[in-house]
Structure 1
Amino acid sequence: MTARPGDPVRRVALPLSVAAGGALGASGRYGVQLLLPAEPSGVPWATLAVNVAGCLLMGVLMVLLLEGTATPHRLLRPFLGVGVLGGFTTFSAVATEVDALARAGQAAAAGGYLAVTLLGSLLAVHAGIAATRAVLRRRREGGW
């Protein structure tokens, strides 16, 4: 049985795929935070790590889905991009952590953490895109 655009099965599949991916991504983030617990007034390294890693993976994912040779399943992008990586990264936590550092009298640490998070995340997306395009180009040219 194939679902048509207005079918209830099709309307439910997208939110369920995002929710399932979000559960996986948030669980992964929680695991990283257990491995790298933050000191009460220290830099939250786990949040920085998941945001930069998630941005790198987002760059890789978007190139693979949009520029790869295969046509991906219609739910793959929302599942992986919005769900898994959206649940894994946590830019809302950056705002509260910057605020907590500033309130603890560590304005320089708060500003530095914010700057490193933003710059690191942007560079990571770019690196993921560039590296994945290079790999795809090499594969297309028969280098692998």
Structure 2
Amino acid sequence: MVGIKPHIPDLNVKPCSDSDEEEKGEIAKEFQNLAGLKTHDACYVDHKLLYELEVEIIARLPCFEYWKLQFLNKKFLQLLKSCEIFRVREERGLVKPYVILHSGAVSNWEMFDKDFKTFRRLPKVPSSDYCFFHSDKETVSVGTQLIVIGEK
């Protein structure tokens, strides 16, 4: 907006109100005024639109960083467990191939990007199947499926 000088509050000035709640309310009103928001605008926010925006943003993060999002809140944990993020990644052409290797008799799994520049150790696979971890086998990952070739 040309010709309008925005009012920037001085954060160094001591607040003159004694109540913390009043102070928080005044600060919130000040930011709403600066942003041009009205209190009734909150009623018109489409939650589906916010969800889609969250999915679009998270889909652009590297897959190696997804594990950190589970600690934000239950909403992000549910989003990670759904296939929505991976569907959006595929639609946007953001899918990257990874190589997943099982090494040794211990349940160690490693994940590499296609250029072997990024390496991550995956969590241990809980299983009581002795043959799975102690037999001669080859593993191949295809999409979201893990194919084990060898002894049962």
- The TM-score normalised by the length of structure 2 is 0.23
Which one has a bigger Cα radius of gyration?
Answer: 2
- The TM-score normalised by the length of structure 1 is 0.24
**Higher share in strand:** 2
**Higher share in helix:** 1
Higher RCO structure, 1 or 2 (CA under 8 Å, sep 6+): 1
